[in-house]
Amino acid sequence: MKKVNVAIVGATGAVGTKILEKLLERDFPVQSIKLLASKRSAGTEITAGGHNYIVEETVPESFDGIDIAFFSAGGSISEKFAHEAVKRGAVVIDNTSAFRMTEQIPLVVPEVNADALNGHAGIISNPNCSTIQMVTALQPIREKLGLNRIIVSTYQAVSGAGSEAIDELENQSNQFTKRSEIKAEILPSASAERHYPIAFNAIPQIDSFDSSGYTLEELKMMNETKKIFGDPELSVSATCVRLPVVTGHSESVYIEVGQDGVTVKELHDLLTNAPGVVVQDDPSKQLYPMPLFAEGKDEVFVGRIRKDPEHPAGFHLWIVSDNLLKGAALNSVQIAETLLT
Ligand SMILES: NC(=O)c1ccc[n+]([C@@H]2O[C@H](COP(=O)([O-])OP(=O)(O)OC[C@H]3O[C@@H](n4cnc5c(N)ncnc54)[C@H](OP(=O)(O)O)[C@@H]3O)[C@@H](O)[C@H]2O)c1
């Protein structure tokens, strides 16, 4: 396979760090790796896979000679530099929401819609973390049985809000056990008017609200799922909640498949044979997925598969995955691998 020059924008962040780890771990065919961040981190040394890398400030010239640029530094940075990177010859794989719903830009989960990469124009979007794990698990069901409806409630980890949110949970946990004042400055989102403690709490707000009463995170799940599945008529509704979990998003998902009379065993079999999915489902052994055990793993874990007692085509599932891996870094690296094969 041809060796490529890679840049990671946002290399010091929660996602960027994992992109570097995955590139090295998966023997991605790299000629060189350039780590980029803001001016603040320029000069920082990062050691990984026995190499020392020096972080550089992101400027337009950073992309000269780059073949693949992974972006995970926030939407405004992608808006500022992604087109510039493409102009200078790079393919951009963007982890932010900047271009996800732009019609001509593919939104890709390789297990689901790798075909969408054909004919891309330089920028490829990586979906939202909660969306990726859900569509990866639902794809084999949808493909075989059809899918009419999804109602999802998420239980999302603080690492989904970046490294500052992880620090906030740790600090608040210490403040709580020391009975000192709890300081909330980041969650539900840094730009929000009010901040609430996440330690020992559950916050039913991820990102800001729009006029419909849904949050942007919920709308991302709803709109991105339809785009990835190529099914604008699919009925999708989401409620997204932040929990005091460091890494690993969990989701309670209700689905209505395209036909009546499907059994739980059929779903088990479909999911057991699905790429990137592991079924952990045995109530007699208390076996079900949990974020603590999904952290650091590449797969999407599915359990608690039950038939809805009231709807002939309804099922409930519990879906868990590492939001920084399949939900972000791993999926981005898989997109790059797919482009190179
Ligand atoms: N966390 C997740 O689970 C997840 C999943 C999917 C997608 N995403 C998306 O990925 C993006 C990054 O998320 P994260 O969780 O990794 O955030 P993070 O931990 O806060 O990291 C942000 C990164 O962006 C860099 N950055 C900030 N300002 C910059 C600038 N002006 N120029 C260049 N780089 C700059 C930071 O560098 P400095 O060290 O210089 O500040 C840091 O490397 C966000 O858009 C997020 O929505 C996150």
Question: Which atom in ligand 1 lies closest to the alpha carbon of residue 78?
Answer: 45
Question: CA angle at residue 282 from 276 to 286, to 5 degrees?
Answer: 110
120 pLDDT more than 90 = yes
Q: Compute the half-sphere exposure of residue 169: CA atoms within 13 Å on the CB side of its CA.
A: 21
Quote the strand ranges of the chain, DSSP E: 4-9, 30-37, 45-48, 51-54, 56-57, 68-71, 91-94, 123-125, 147-156, 235-242, 249-257, 277-279, 300-307, 314-321
Q: Using the predicted structure, report yes or no on whether residue 1 has a pLDDT greater than 80.
A: no
Residue with CA closest to ligand 1 atom 21: 13
pLDDT bracket for residue 301 (50, 70, 90): very high
- Please give the pLDDT value at position 214: 98
95, 158, 249, 334: residue to mutate for ligand 1 pocket, most atoms within 8 A of CB: 95
Q: How far is the CA of 83 from the centre of ligand 1 (A)?
A: 18
Distance 311 CA to ligand 1 centre (A): 42
Q: What are phi and psi of 31, to 5 degrees?
A: -90, -45
Ligand 1 atom at minimum distance from 16 CA: 16
- In the prediction, which pLDDT does 90 show? 98
Cβ atoms of residues 24 and 9 within 8 Å: no
* Ligand 1 binding pocket includes 331 (Cβ within 6 Å): no
- Enzyme catalytic residues: 129, 249
Instruction: Provide the pLDDT for residue 304.
Output: 98
Assign 2 a pLDDT band (cuts: 50, 70, 90): confident
Alpha helices, DSSP H, located in the chain: 14-25, 75-87, 110-113, 129-145, 163-177, 216-229, 264-272, 291-294, 330-340
Q: How much is the average pLDDT of 146-169?
A: 97
pLDDT in tens, 162-221: 999 999 999 999 999 999 999 999 999 989 999 999 999 999 999 999 999 999 999 999
Please indicate whether residue 44, judged by its CB atom, sits closer than 6 Å to ligand 1: no
Bridge partners of 36, per DSSP, are 9, 56
Residue ranges and CATH numbers for the domains of the chain are 4-127+328-340 (3.40.50.720), 131-323 (3.30.360.10)
pLDDT digits (tens, 9 = 90+) for 213-248: 999 999 999 999 999 999 999 999 999 999 999 999
* Average pLDDT for 240-268: 98
Task: Give the alpha-carbon dihedral of 148, 326, 238, 168, to 10 degrees.
Answer: 170
Please report the atom of ligand 1 found closest to the CA of residue 323: 3
